[in-house]
Amino acid sequence: MPILEELKGKEIVICLVHTILDQKHPVIVTKLVELEATGVWIEGRDLAKYFHEELKHSIVPKMPLFFVPFAQVRWIYDSADYPSLSEKGLGL
């Protein structure tokens, strides 16, 4: 089982209590940039997309980052590098 520190710099799926830019779905696929004692820093790809569309710019100078306090995180998903077993397939 990976610890959160091992996921730094990797793609994660994160479910937030409140969504960024009023999205319908609070689940975001993003990069975990950094950890702090009280939360996580994630890339703001959705915010960058918003800037591209609304401001009619093809390039945003820097990737926006969001700090999300752990109180606003429902769950973080990653996958393990070993096979998944089916209980039904095993007759359990």
Question: What is the 8-class DSSP label of residue 5?
Answer: G
Q: 73 forms bridges with which residues in the sheet? A: 16
CATH class for the domain made up of 4-77? mainly beta
Dist. CA 22–CA 43, nearest whole Å: 17
pLDDT at residue 89 in the model:
72
What pLDDT digit, counting tens, does each position of 21-60 carry?
555 667 888 899 999 999 999 988 776 776 677 777 777 6
Query: For the whole prediction, is pTM greater than 0.85?
Result: no
Give every CB contact of residue 44 below 8 A, 6+ residues apart in sequence. Answer: 20, 30, 63, 64, 65, 66
pLDDT for the residue numbered 22: 56
